[in-house]
């Protein structure tokens, strides 16, 4: 199906025959021909002028002539300066398209293109159970889900996992504040989503704490002393100790409040239409790392300082010395990650890669993690990959939870759904939709807008989230692509009515005679879109290799745009030209299939009509 190898080897032949220049076909690079020039692929001949001892133009002509007479795929060529533009025969495009349309599912399904699928794990979301999800989490969640879907699509086995940070001093804060000031408030009694309720008490703690500190400072303490001696801060320490000791009352409270949070998260995850295969809880894994550290110490990979703390020296790989276990024997952050990573490779035999979707502020952390496992000689250490993404900024500046400038995920989803509803109603599109259908569609469109807006940006770049622009429905947006898909379906439905389900209506004499005069597959007008479709496997493969949904997003936009362009220049269902129409219906159907699959890879729903 790929034409490039054949052309490349023909080029290699031509070079050796014409100029006794030997080169392996894989070293030859072909580019897509630019739109303004005639042709499909372009060979840049400058590198060969040394062997040919001729001008670039002459060299390109020689090679072109050779290809035209010796390679069946090449129907024609032209030369502009040192650029040899090669036209691939219509026959090739026809048979490519015939293949794709005869079996669209096989064309869209890329599993077979990866003969040796891997076994990967993607960790994403990883929330704290002390506050609701915000916009930053959303980039994480959408990226993680989409990357997983892309990897699945090319045939890998993928474990989607979530690691919930459900313990520690920050979790105790909301517990303590609720206990002291909550008066038994529950999500039900207050009609508040559980995660928001808990978040409220986390904020409450911070407020009280600051108040107490200010009070002590007024009394003459330094800020540092005050922070240590604030009564509420002492209570927190006590509570953490109680939790670690398994105190019954504390554990009950912890379980109850975490339960509220999970209920709240589930609602948000559901709205985002993401899921996990397995959820890990830090409370269950945070002690696992200790054994690894002790083992590493006995093997000599780590060392102990005089105070009893255990360290690793990574200065040889350009990093610092890092503490792995405190003098009192308790874990630090990275100790836990040592434990969970090891656990996962034990639990999932044959796991090759563990992809962490985590913000770029933790790049150093993951470098260290990987180096530690390398030092420990774990065979899978190279399979640890930090899929790092940039922060989400707002037009008003950075998001800071302490300053209350975060965009809450639930609020945002709600606003965007409402915006989608308003716009849709204003356009008067939904006359034949019932209430439930219409509501579902608003959400589909809203989420399409939001997800696409976030995923189209290269993960590693920090991005600016403009709430107003994110809900635009025109241009390079999710709804534009969804809309195109819905329109294609409408075309296909009409085609079914006219040609397929109602064959007799057009089957009479005059139609058939017209059909005979018609070239069934005249490619000229449609080649642009076929060429875009042709690139689909390569685009998805690239996305999978780079863990980048942005590649899929930008590709599917191109598909949608190409179709819209085509659609406006051509009548697709034309009863006077049945053959052409049937062929174009096939084209529409393959295009729809590609769009739907790409949207699926982005976690976006493709509405059948809108």
Partner RNA sequence: GGUCCCGUAGCUCAGCUGGAUAGAGCACAAGUUUUCUAAACUUGCGGCCAUUGGUUCGAAUCCAAUCGGGAUCACCA
**Closest separation between CB of residue 240 and RNA, Å?**
10
Binding mask 393-432 for RNA (x = CB under 7 A): -----x---------------------x--xx--x-x---
* C-beta of 225 vs 277, nearer to RNA: 225
Rounded CA separation 543/113 (Å): 14
Identify the residue among 106, 327, 440, 505 touching RNA (CB under 7 A).
Answer: 327
CB of residue 360 vs RNA: minimum separation in angstroms? 5
The minimum distance between CB 487 and RNA, in angstroms, equals 4
261 counts as binding RNA under rule CB under 7 A? no
Q: Does 490 bind RNA (CB under 7 A)?
A: yes
Q: Does 456 bind RNA (CB under 7 A)?
A: yes
Q: Which of 482, 419, 422, 477 minimizes the C-alpha distance to 449?
A: 477
| Residue 483 in the binding site for RNA (CB under 7 A) | yes
Footprint of RNA on 228-257 (CB under 7 A): none
Nearer CB in complex with RNA: 346/569: 569
Binding positions for RNA, 564-583, rule CB under 7 A: 564-565, 567-568, 570-573
The SS3 of residue 95 is helix
CB of 461 to RNA, least distance (A): 5
Measured between alpha carbons, how far is 391 from 461 in angstroms, rounded to an integer? 8
Decide if 177 contacts 157 (C-beta within 8 A). Answer: no
Question: Which listed residue (284, 466, 501, 502) binds RNA by CB under 7 A?
Answer: 466
Nearer Cβ to RNA (181/333): 333
Q: Which stretch binds RNA (CB under 7 A): 6-14, 20-28, 259-267, 470-478?
A: 470-478
Contact with RNA (CB under 7 A): which of 113, 165, 186, 352? 165
The interface region with RNA, picked from 63-71, 204-212, 252-260, 467-475 by CB under 7 A, is 467-475
Question: Does residue 65 contact residue 43 with C-beta atoms inside 8 Å?
Answer: no
Q: Is 130 in the site for RNA (CB under 7 A)?
A: no
Under the criterion CB under 7 A, does residue 224 sit at the interface with RNA? no
Q: What are phi and psi of 356, to 5 degrees?
A: -95, 120
Region from 344-352, 481-489, 502-510, 521-529 binding RNA, contact rule CB under 7 A: 481-489
Give, for 180, the enclosing helix (H) or strand (E).
helix 169-181
**DSSP summary character for residue 115:** S
Interacting residues with RNA between 540 and 559 (CB under 7 A): 550-551, 554, 557
Residue 521 engages RNA in binding (rule: CB under 7 A)? no
Residues 18, 217, 394, 463: which binds RNA (CB under 7 A)? 463
Tokens of 184: 């038994």
Query: Using CA atoms, how far apart are residues 432 and 439, in angstroms rounded to an integer?
Result: 13
Smallest distance, RNA to C-beta of residue 486, A: 3
The dihedrals phi and psi of 110, each to the nearest 5 degrees, come to -100, 5
**Does an H or E element contain 430, and which?**
none
Q: Does 333 bind RNA (CB under 7 A)?
A: yes
Which lies closer to RNA via its Cβ, residue 98 or residue 576? Answer: 576
Give the shortest CB-190-to-RNA separation in angstroms. Answer: 27
Indicate which single residue of 3, 66, 77, 83 sits in contact with RNA (rule: CB under 7 A): 83
- Contact between 365 and 323 under an 8 Å Cβ cutoff? The reply is no
Q: How many CA atoms within 13 Å lie on the side-chain side of 375?
A: 24
The β-bridge partners of 134 are 408
- Candidate residues 23, 273, 314, 332; the one interacting with RNA per rule CB under 7 A: 332
Nearest-approach distance from CB 519 to RNA, in angstroms: 19
Return the ∠ at Cα 203 (arms to 184 and 138), rounded to 5°.
110
The per-residue DSSP string of 1-37 comes to: ---HHHHHHHHHHHHHHHH-----GGG--EEEPPTTS
Question: Contact with RNA (CB under 7 A): which of 460, 507, 520, 545?
Answer: 460
Q: Closest separation between CB of residue 140 and RNA, Å?
A: 14
Tokens of 301: 């990979």
Question: Which residues, other chains included, contact 610 with Cβ-Cβ below 8 Å and sequence gap of 6+?
Answer: 424, 429, 441, 444, 445, 482, 483, 486
> Residue 232 has which token pair?
């509420």
Using CB under 7 A as the binding rule, whether residue 323 contacts RNA is answered as: yes
Q: Which of 474, 504, 508, 517 binds RNA (CB under 7 A)?
A: 474
| Range 272-301, binding RNA (CB under 7 A) | 282
SS3 of 443, please?
Answer: helix
* Nearer Cβ to RNA (187/605): 605
Choosing from 220, 246, 300, 318, the residue that interacts with RNA (CB under 7 A) is: 318
Q: In sequence order, which residues have a C-beta less than 8 Å from that of residue 9 and are 6 or more positions away? A: 25
DSSP-derived pairing of the beta strands 353-359 and 384-389: parallel
Q: How far is the CB of 119 from RNA (least distance, A)?
A: 26
Nearest approach in angstroms of CB 297 to RNA is 15
Q: Which is nearer to RNA, 479 or 603 (CB)?
A: 479
Nearer to RNA, 373 or 557 (CB): 557
Contacting RNA within 591-610 (CB under 7 A): 609-610
Nearer to RNA, 121 or 420 (CB): 420
Contact 572, 578 (CB under 8 A): no
H-only helix segments in 71-168: 90-102, 104-108, 135-153
- Dig out the tokens for 364 from the structure: 């150093």
Residue 385 — φ and ψ, nearest 5°?
A: -135, 125
Task: Give 312 or 351: the residue with its C-beta nearer to RNA.
Answer: 312
**Residues 343-362, interacting with RNA (CB under 7 A):** 360-362
Which residues fall within 8 angstroms of residue 167, CB to CB, at 6 or more apart? 243, 254, 282, 283, 286
What burial letters (b/e) apply to 423-439, b meaning 16+ CB within 10 Å? bbeeeebbeeeeeeebe
- Per-position b or e across 473-497, b if 16+ CB within 10 A of its CB: beebbbbbbbbbbbbbbebbeebee
Q: Near RNA by CB under 7 A, which window of 41-49, 500-508, 525-533, 597-605?
A: 41-49
Q: Which stretch binds RNA (CB under 7 A): 116-124, 192-200, 205-213, 303-311?
A: 303-311
């Amino acid at each position: 199906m790929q034409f490039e190898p054949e052309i490349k080897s023909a080029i290699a032949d031509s070079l050796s025959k014409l100029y006794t220049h030997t080169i392996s076909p894989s070293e030859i690079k072909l580019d897509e021909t630019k739109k303004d020039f005639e042709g499909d692929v372009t060979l840049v001949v400058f590198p060969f002028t040394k062997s040919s001892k001729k001008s670039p133009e002459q060299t390109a002509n020689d090679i072109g002539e050779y290809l035209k007479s010796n390679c069946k795929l090449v129907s024609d060529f032209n030369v502009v300066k040192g650029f040899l533009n090669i036209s691939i025969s219509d026959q090739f495009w026809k048979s490519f398209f015939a293949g794709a349309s005869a079996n669209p599912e096989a064309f869209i399904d890329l599993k077979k293109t990866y003969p040796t699928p891997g076994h990967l794990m993607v960790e994403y979301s990883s929330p704290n159970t002390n506050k609701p999800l915000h916009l930053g989490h959303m980039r994480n969640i959408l990226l993680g889900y989409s990357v997983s879907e892309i990897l699945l699509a090319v045939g890998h086995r993928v474990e989607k996992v979530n690691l919930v940070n459900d313990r520690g001093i920050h979790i105790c804060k909301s517990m303590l504040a609720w206990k002291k000031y909550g008066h038994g408030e529950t999500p039900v009694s207050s009609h508040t989503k559980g995660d928001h309720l808990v978040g409220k008490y986390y904020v409450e703690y911070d407020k009280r704490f600051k108040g107490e500190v200010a009070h002590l400072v007024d009394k003459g303490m330094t800020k540092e002393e005050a922070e240590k001696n604030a009564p509420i801060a002492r209570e927190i320490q006590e509570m953490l100790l109680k939790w670690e000791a398994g105190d019954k009352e504390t554990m009950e409270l912890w379980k109850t409040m975490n339960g509220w949070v999970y209920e709240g998260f589930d609602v948000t995850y559901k709205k985002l239409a993401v899921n996990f295969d397995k959820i890990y809880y830090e409370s269950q894994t945070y002690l696992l790392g200790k054994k690894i550290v002790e083992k590493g110490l006995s093997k000599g990979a780590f060392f102990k300082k005089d105070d009893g703390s255990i360290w690793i020296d990574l200065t040889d790989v350009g990093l610092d010395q890092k503490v792995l276990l405190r003098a009192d024997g308790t874990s630090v952050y990275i100790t836990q990650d040592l434990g969970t990573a090891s656990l996962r490779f034990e639990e999932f035999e044959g796991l090759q890669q563990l992809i962490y979707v985590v913000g770029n502020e933790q790049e150093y952390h993951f470098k260290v993690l990987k180096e530690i496992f390398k030092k420990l000689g774990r065979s899978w250490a190279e399979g640890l990959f930090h899929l790092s993404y940039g922060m989400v900024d707002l037009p008003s500046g950075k998001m800071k939870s302490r300053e209350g400038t975060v965009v809450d995920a639930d609020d945002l989803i709600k606003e965007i759904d409402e915006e989608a509803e308003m716009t849709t109603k204003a356009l008067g599109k939904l006359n034949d939709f019932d209430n439930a259908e219409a509501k579902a569609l608003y959400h589909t469109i809203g989420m399409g807008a939001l997800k696409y807006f976030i995923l189209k940006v290269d993960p590693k770049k920090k991005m600016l989230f403009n709430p107003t622009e994110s809900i635009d429905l025109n241009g390079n947006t999710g709804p534009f692509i969804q809309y195109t898909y819905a329109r294609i379906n409408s075309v296909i439905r009409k085609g079914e009515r006219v040609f397929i389900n109602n064959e007799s209506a057009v089957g009479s004499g005059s139609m058939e005679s017209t059909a005979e005069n018609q070239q069934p597959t005249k490619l000229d007008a449609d080649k642009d879109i076929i060429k875009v479709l042709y690139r689909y496997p390569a685009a998805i493969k690239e996305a999978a290799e780079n863990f980048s949904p942005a590649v899929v997003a930008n590709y599917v936009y191109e598909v949608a745009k190409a179709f819209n362009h085509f659609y406006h220049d051509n009548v697709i269902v034309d009863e006077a030209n049945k053959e052409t129409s049937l062929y174009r219906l096939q084209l529409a159907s393959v295009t729809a299939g590609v769009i739907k699959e790409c949207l699926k890879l982005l976690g976006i729903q493709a509405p059948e009509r809108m």
